[in-house]
């Protein structure tokens, strides 16, 4: 009990919580310039999951009625090899995902956040079989998507919190 009192009195702020006025957010399906099927859908679902953590930001399915809009584009995905084993076989690969996104206040028309070319990276081991390597690649991509979504969510909370100060 004393611990929580100390945290409250020293100005502790949980970055995952937005307690400002309720806002309705529309998240577009991101334009996917890659050949990676369903990547846009995976990012959309991950973003929705992150924004559902906030009791004050409600994700809605239509642009009409939204106060905020989050749109983005998947620019590229690349799999350059990192290290090689005997026989010049790749043993480790890096997934590089390049995206851009924008958060806009639809009521004022102001751009609240705009990120041009953001590159996300995750390494994974090449497996003994192609299915193992494919599973490792999918896992690395899932990590990137979750980290990307979390960063966008936290940036949004920070921006909205500053507007309400």
Query: What domains does the chain contain, in order, with CATH numbers?
Result: 17-163 (3.30.160.150)
pTM of the predicted protein model = 0.82
What is the Cβ-side half-sphere exposure of residue 95, based on CA atoms within 13 angstroms? 23
Ramachandran sector of residue 40 (left: φ over 0; alpha: ψ -120 to 50; beta: rest): alpha
Tokens 């906030």, residue located: 54
Per-residue model confidence as pLDDT tens for the chain (165 residues): 545 444 444 554 555 566 678 999 999 999 999 999 999 999 999 999 999 988 899 999 999 999 999 999 999 999 765 555 555 555 678 889 999 999 999 999 999 999 999 999 998 777 666 665 677 788 989 999 999 999 999 999 999 988 876
Exposure class string for 124-143: b at 16+ Cβ within 10 A, else e: bebeeeeeebeebbeebbee
């Amino acid at each position: 009990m004393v611990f929580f009192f100390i945290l409250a009195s020293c100005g502790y702020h949980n970055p995952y919580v937005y307690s400002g006025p309720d806002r309705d957010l529309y998240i577009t399906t991101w334009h996917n310039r890659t050949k990676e099927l369903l990547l846009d859908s995976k990012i959309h679902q991950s973003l929705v999951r992150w924004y559902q953590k906030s009791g004050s930001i409600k994700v809605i399915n239509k642009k009409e009625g939204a106060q905020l809009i989050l749109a983005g584009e998947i620019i590229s995905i690349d799999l350059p090899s990192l290290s090689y084993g005997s026989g010049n076989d790749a043993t480790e690969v890096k997934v590089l995902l390049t995206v851009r996104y924008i958060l806009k206040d639809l009521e004022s028309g102001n751009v609240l956040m705009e990120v041009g070319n953001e590159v996300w990276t995750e390494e994974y081991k090449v497996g003994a079989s192609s299915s193992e390597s494919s599973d490792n690649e999918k896992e690395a991509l899932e990590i990137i998507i979750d980290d990307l979504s979390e960063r966008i969510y936290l940036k949004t909370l920070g921006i909205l919190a500053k507007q309400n100060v």
